[in-house]
Structure 1
Amino acid sequence: MRKVEVTVVKVRNLKRQHAFRGSNDPYVRIAPDKGLIHHWQKTAAIKDAGSEAEFDKQMTFEVKPDGNLLLEVKDSDLIHDDEIGRTKIPMSDVFETGAVESWYQIGEGSKYSGEVYLQMRAL
């Protein structure tokens, strides 16, 4: 297991969750992919952000160099948070190069629901 520092910088082009009421209140949560149990860390929700939001939230995880981070973008609601989208982020490039900055697509094909910009650094 090795440590990686992840900064969630921003999201863009988020799919709208509610057709008739309000705009997205997005937040991002991330966890190492360790099977059935995930230890999530998350950003604060950005109220009425709509399709774009900036977070600048730094998190540190222990991951396998050939493992993945699970990433979900959610819409914060009073009763139940809706999922906007999810993706897996491979860690191999981070540990091979030492650092990666990139946009990552949330969802694929017809399930595309936006993008998240991450800065990641091997520790």
Structure 2
Amino acid sequence: MIVIDPRSPLPPFEQLRAQLLDSVASGALAPGAKLPTVRRLAEDLGLAPGTVARAYRELETAGIIETRGRNGTFVSPQGDPAHREAQRAAAAFAEQVRALRLDPDDALAIVTAALRGPESSTT
């Protein structure tokens, strides 16, 4: 939970930036997690949208978050390039599973079977 302390010597955008960074580092915000819109977060925290936008810009410049146009802002995948690409693919798959209203356990079984290869489907 993000809390902005108006008595802090740190400006609100820096408090927000630091708390989001801590949440990513601790795993509370996982790679691929969707962040609230600038306007929504500003409203929730009682901040000006420009304050939230500045924090988001700084985190994006640092590679911590990424904006995907109208799709929103997400926590950037971390680690090596293959791992990052796998995280992107997993996030896209999870989004499609939700859109199709599939049971998560069924979706995981489908992925497990696919990872085992075509020979697993002939049993």
| Fold shared, TM-score > 0.5 on shorter chain | no
TM-score (norm 1): 0.24
- For CA contacts below 8 A with separation 6 or more, give which structure has more relative contact order: 1
Structure having the larger proportion of residues in strand? 1
TM-score w.r.t. length of structure 2: 0.24
